[in-house]
Structures are given as structure tokens and as C-alpha cells.
């Protein structure tokens, strides 16, 4: 073979190699190696686990009314500016440690949110030391002075004492300190100097001698923030009507006065609220339903709003905290029901909780493995003291909803 022929074949071979490399780069087979299979399988399992992280709940006639999808587990998420707030006495230290142990074990040992303790007397060193040791987060201690825990100058204390005597047959009816507590929780904790200094966007209220029964592997503060929730609860309850006989009429007087002065605090369409949780179709009476505030997670600025501050001031001036026995639970609940969109509420069905004799224990099967309580003993849908069915019904559209605002609905007729 001549040299010219050899060069020709070499060129052909070189060209074939170049075309082969180009084909491989473009059309090369996608090889799946063993570790790729493991990663793919794990990813699919994670997706399946996240898809299965949900629960359903609802009243007996509609048990699957609400489906809540939970965030993925883990404590690597962004922290919200938030913490636990507690009103507590030194004498309640052991009960406080029990509550903290539950909160820390079930949730906070992985998230390390801070605690704020408030007291109308100075905290002892023992209280500070033991509560600091009981938490993985920082602790803060604040004193509640007379400006937030005393009789305002417009209260007739003789009349207040007579009212306590008259109401001694009602729960806490004869208690003076309970009335100061309710007034403080209604109108002052959210403007305590230390609370304002911490500048929390959300807070979680905790009380001594309560129990938490379910493990929380996600951040409820972050869940509320990302889902635009502004008020959350676990138990909704019926108030004793004898403690709030004039509250509903006082509320309607307030709304009427603000409507007439063009302060339209409650201009949300009625159909977008949970008004049927607190009253009937014509706003005649209060249902006595409220959210139990011994557990609540809420936005701080809900109470710091002009609307709520005006509402509280109006109620406070009537003396109902002392001449009757208005609780912070109906005060918070009534305002939230008037002011918030129904989508801004959240029922933490997955947080098992007990206060006093009453408990909420999730009935949803998907939550049983993470809770340590008996669903048969839950208050939720069967106990006559529970308002949960009424709340769930209030979330649903109703053909009798009027095409007016909440303010117009509550304004008294001329």
C-alpha cells in the first residue's frame, strides 16, 4: 500500500473516532449506579413521608371536614421571633416545672425558643435557677407593677367586693386576684416593657400545671407565619353565663359607637368571619363560646392593634372585670372572631393538651403514634362543654350569611 493510501485510511479512522465521541457526548446512556438508586429511593420515601404527614378532623356529621398537611420534620428551619409567655407565682414553681418539662420534651428541646416569666411579686432566686435549668432556651423574668395589677381609679371597690360576694357560687366568683389576672391577660401582658423589648412576632402562652401529650417535630410558630395564621387554639369551651351577663351588650355598644364615629374596625364581610361561633344569625345573644386562652399561640400585634386597644379600653372603663367576672378568654375570642378572617385561625388538633379536668387528645389515626393520651377521653366533639363543633361549622359557608360587614351586623338598631 502506498504512503498516500495509508494517510487516507488514517484520516478516515480519525474522523470515525471524532464522530463516535460526539455521539457519546450527546446520546450517551444514563448509567444508574447503586448509590444513585439509594438516593432516588430515599428521595421518593421522603416525598411519600411528607405526603402522609397530614390529619383530618371534623364534627361527627362531617368527620373529614378539615385536612391539615404538616410541614416536614426537622429543626433546621428559620426561627421566628417568638417565645413562651407565662404569668406565674413563686408558689407555683413545681407546677411550672412540670409544664416546662412537657413543652421542652415534646417540642422545645429541638428548637430552643426563649421563655418570658411575669409575676406581680419579685421572682425568687430558686425560681429563676430551676426554670433556667428546665429549658434549652433563654429565660427572662419580668415584674408586673401596680399600673398593670391594681384597681383603676374609676372602680368602686365597695361595689366590686359586693359583686364578689354575690357571685361566690360561680367559678372564681369570689376571687379578687383572679379578676386582676383576667384584666392583665386581656389588656397588659402584650404591652409589658419586657415583652415589648423582646419584640416577638408570635407568642405561645403556657400556664403552670398543664400537660402536653404529643410530640411536635415541626415549628408551630413557623407554620403559623408561613400560613398567615394569627390566632391558634386547642380547646374551645363554653363560658359560665353568670360571669359575663352584660358582656355581649357592652360589645355591641362599643361596635355601635365606633360605627357611628366612622371608626370601621370591623369592616370585614360577615361571610368571611366565624361570627356563628359567637352568636346567632341576628346577633341577639352571645353563645358563650370561647377559645381557652391558657393555651394560645397568636400574633402579638393582634392585641397591639388600634382596634383591640380601643376595644379593651372601652370594656375596662365599664368595670366588667370587677363588677362581674369577665375572663380574658371570652375577651380575646370575641375580638378575634369579629376582627380576623376565618382563614387566619388555626386549630392545633395535633397538640394534645390538658388543663384542669378537661383535655384535648387527637382522635385522628395518623397522630396516634406521636401522642400519649386516650382519644376516648377527649373533650372535642361529644362533651357539651366543648364548642369545637360550633367552630368547625362557623368555618363553612352558610346560605343565611348576610351580605354586610361585621360592624354593620353588630351595630344596634336606632
The residues carrying an active-site annotation are 296
Q: 354-362: long-range contacts at Cβ-Cβ below 8 A with a sequence spacing of 24 or more?
A: 354/210, 354/211, 354/213, 355/207, 355/210, 355/235, 355/292, 355/294, 355/295, 358/235, 358/237, 358/383, 358/385, 359/211, 359/213, 360/234, 360/235, 361/213, 362/55, 362/57, 362/214
Q: Are 206 and 296 in contact (CB under 8 A)?
A: no
All three cell numbers of 59, joined, read: 364534627
Dist CA 100 CA 209 (whole Å): 9
Dist CA 381 CA 331 (whole Å): 23
Q: Is 404 helix (H, G, I), strand (E, B) or coil?
A: coil
Q: What is the DSSP string of 167-199?
A: TTTSTTTT-HHHHHHHHHHHHTGGG-HHHHHHT
Among 176, 203, 31, smallest CA distance to 115 is for 203
Amino acid at each position: 500500500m502506498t504512503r498516500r493510501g495509508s494517510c487516507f485510511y488514517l484520516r478516515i479512522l480519525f474522523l470515525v473516532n471524532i464522530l463516535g465521541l460526539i455521539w457519546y457526548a450527546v446520546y450517551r446512556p444514563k448509567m444508574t449506579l447503586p448509590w444513585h438508586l439509594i438516593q432516588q429511593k430515599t428521595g421518593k420515601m421522603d416525598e411519600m413521608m411528607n405526603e402522609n404527614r397530614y390529619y383530618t378532623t371534623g364534627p361527627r356529621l362531617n368527620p373529614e371536614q378539615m385536612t391539615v398537611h404538616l410541614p416536614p420534620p426537622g429543626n433546621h428551619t428559620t426561627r421566628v421571633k417568638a417565645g413562651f409567655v407565662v404569668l406565674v407565682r413563686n408558689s407555683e414553681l413545681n407546677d411550672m416545672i412540670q409544664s416546662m418539662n412537657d413543652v421542652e420534651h415534646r417540642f422545645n428541646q429541638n428548637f430552643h425558643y426563649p421563655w418570658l416569666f411575669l409575676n406581680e411579686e419579685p421572682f425568687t432566686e430558686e425560681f429563676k435557677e430551676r426554670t433556667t435549668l428546665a429549658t434549652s432556651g433563654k429565660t427572662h423574668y419580668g415584674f408586673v407593677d401596680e399600673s398593670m395589677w391594681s384597681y383603676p381609679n374609676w372602680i368602686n371597690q365597695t361595689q366590686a367586693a359586693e359583686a364578689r360576694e354575690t357571685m361566690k357560687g360561680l367559678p372564681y366568683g369570689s376571687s379578687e386576684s383572679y379578676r386582676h389576672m383576667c384584666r392583665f391577660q386581656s389588656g397588659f401582658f402584650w404591652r409589658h416593657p419586657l415583652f415589648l423589648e423582646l419584640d416577638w412576632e408570635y407568642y405561645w402562652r403556657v400556664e403552670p400545671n398543664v400537660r402536653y401529650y404529643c410530640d411536635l417535630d415541626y415549628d408551630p410558630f413557623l407554620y403559623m407565619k408561613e400560613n398567615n395564621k394569627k390566632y391558634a387554639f386547642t380547646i374551645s369551651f363554653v363560658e359560665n353565663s353568670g360571669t359575663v351577663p352584660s358582656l355581649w351588650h357592652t360589645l355591641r355598644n362599643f361596635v355601635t359607637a365606633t360605627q357611628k364615629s366612622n371608626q370601621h374596625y370591623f369592616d370585614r364581610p360577615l361571610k368571611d368571619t366565624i361570627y356563628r361561633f359567637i352568636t346567632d344569625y341576628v346577633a341577639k345573644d352571645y353563645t358563650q363560646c370561647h377559645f381557652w386562652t391558657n393555651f394560645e399561640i397568636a400574633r402579638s400585634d393582634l392585641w397591639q392593634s388600634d382596634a383591640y386597644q380601643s376595644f379593651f379600653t372601652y370594656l375596662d372603663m365599664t368595670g366588667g372585670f370587677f363588677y362581674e367576672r369577665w375572663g380574658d378568654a371570652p375577651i380575646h375570642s370575641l375580638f378575634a372572631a369579629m376582627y380576623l378572617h376565618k382563614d387566619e385561625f388555626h386549630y392545633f388538633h395535633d397538640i394534645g393538651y390538658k388543663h384542669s379536668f378537661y383535655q384535648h387528645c387527637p382522635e385522628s389515626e395518623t397522630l396516634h403514634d406521636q401522642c400519649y393520651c386516650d382519644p376516648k377521653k377527649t373533650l372535642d366533639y361529644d362533651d357539651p362543654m366543648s364548642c369545637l363543633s360550633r367552630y368547625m361549622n362557623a368555618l363553612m359557608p352558610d346560605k343565611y350569611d348576610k351580605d354586610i360587614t361585621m360592624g354593620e351586623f353588630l351595630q344596634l338598631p336606632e
